[in-house]
Copies of this chain bind each other. A is one copy, B any other.
Amino acid sequence: MISEKMKPMVENNSVIRVMFEEGKRLSALYGAENVYDFSLGNPNVPAPDAVKESILEVLDQEESTFVHGYMSNAGYEDVREAVAQSLNRRFGTDFGYQNILMTVGAASGLNVILKTILDPGDEVMVFAPFFLEYGNYVRNYDGKLVVVSPNTSDFQPNLQEFEEKITAKTRAVIINSPNNPTGVVYSSQTLHALANILREKEKALGREILLISDEPYRELAYDGVEVPYVTKYYGNSVVCYSYSKSLSLPGERIGYLVIPSQLKDSGDVTVAAAIANRVLGSVNAPSLMQRVIKRCIEKDVSVNLEAYDKNRNLLYQGLQECGFTCIKPEGAFYLFVKSPVEDEKEFCAKAQTHNLLLVPGSSFACPGYVRIAYCVSYGQIERSLPAFRALAQEYGLKSKGKPGLGK
């Protein structure tokens, strides 16, 4: 009954399910508070109070048939305008409602734009480490994923290899900053260089190449680090955004696409993307949540960054003290830690014996590293540190922490 394209995914899925079942088994055995699950990017911080307030206001003040009804496939015009103006205020852009398409989260936004532009055989480039799901999205439209190998010195993209791998089949590049799984923010310098390469290649190949920026972590940036807005660097850009992380609404599936006017054939791309949104079955982004987003924008609601920042500092310092190696993340809620042994899956298995659930870097096309998602409670991080210490000792790691700072 199952299509040839889906069969390998079904086979592969059972591996993930085994991991999930293992977490449940450990929790049953040792108690949930003694299992340190760092595997999921599910925000532990509750949605801001303004979300609930806004839901109540919408239900009280707006008509039921309007709030729960169909609207344009691109979303309510007033919501799109509010999103555009919010971007303009924050990033000095010049968008109007016609540049915004409300989507069922960023995953759906990525599917919408890929369906809009990809012909079979078109190549889409990504920089390792990357969210492996991009490959599935690209294959949905018979595109071919081309992976640029990781630059493990600072996890900025490897632009030399990128330039070399662009071909006459290249149609798009997906970037993700702040990055899952490294927490790295692509710098202004990086984006300038990336845009220059793309512009030169476009001219040389006589073909547009779309820069797709997947930005669910945009607001999760620490120490005042700026996350540059890609449309200001390169005209043929599309931004995929989600409120999953910034408003802790991952289950609600609400986000948007930005399709700037400078984009080649922008008007047609906008029409095509709205159609793709429809025919892929989303039809439109969930209506009540669209209305809520507008009010949250008006209230200038922002993510509870402090909670994640506290987690980041505690975990980063704790891991340093244990002797683990990783760069300090500037954004998102992940630490990407070097495995003390080459086979990081072996390391993950060893971690599991200490009730630590980590994700191997090969799940992000970057073996030799593991991802630790710190969107958990502060208490879980505190309780997990002795387990990390015991794990480090098994590998004979030496503390890198400053004396006196450790507990």
Query: Which residues of A line the B interface, CB within 8 A?
Result: 1-6, 9-10, 13-14, 40, 42-47, 51-52, 55-56, 59, 63-65, 67-71, 103-105, 107-112, 115-119, 133, 136-137, 140-141, 208, 210, 236, 248-253, 263-265, 268-269, 271-272, 275-276, 278-289
Nearest Cβ in chain B — how far from A235, in angstroms? Answer: 12
Task: Find out whether the CB atom of B105 lies under 8 angstroms from the CB atom of A281.
Answer: yes
Smallest CB gap from A285: residue in B: B253
Tell whether A272 pairs with B2 under 8 Å between CB atoms, given A109-B281, A282-B104, A286-B286: yes
A-B pairs with beta carbons under 8 Å apart, 25 shown: A1-B117, A1-B263, A2-B265, A4-B119, A6-B115, A10-B268, A13-B271, A42-B70, A51-B64, A55-B55, A55-B59, A56-B59, A68-B250, A68-B252, A105-B281, A107-B281, A108-B283, A133-B278, A137-B279, A137-B281, A250-B283, A252-B286, A252-B287, A252-B288, A253-B287
Task: Give CA–CA (A14, B272) in the complex, Å.
Answer: 11
Task: Give CA–CA (A283, B251) in the complex, Å.
Answer: 8
Task: Find out whether the CB atom of B112 lies under 8 angstroms from the CB atom of A281.
Answer: yes
Task: Give CA–CA (A40, B70) in the complex, Å.
Answer: 10
From B51, B59, B107, A68 is in contact (CB under 8 Å) with B51
Stoichiometry, copies per complex: 2
Nearest Cβ in chain B — how far from A140, in angstroms? Answer: 6
Smallest CB gap from A244: residue in B: B70
Q: Which of A9, A115, A279 has the most CB of B within 10 A?
A: A279
Task: Give CA–CA (A67, B248) in the complex, Å.
Answer: 10
Task: Give CA–CA (A282, B112) in the complex, Å.
Answer: 11
Task: Find out whether the CB atom of A287 lies under 8 angstroms from the CB atom of B109.
Answer: no
Task: Find out whether the CB atom of B9 lies under 8 angstroms from the CB atom of A275.
Answer: yes
B-chain residues with CB within 8 Å of residue A71 when the two chains form the complex: 251
Task: Find out whether the CB atom of B282 lies under 8 angstroms from the CB atom of A281.
Answer: yes
Smallest CB gap from A269: residue in B: B1
B-chain residues with CB within 8 Å of residue A68 when the two chains form the complex: 47, 51, 248-252
Q: Which of A3, A40, A281 has the most CB of B within 10 A?
A: A281
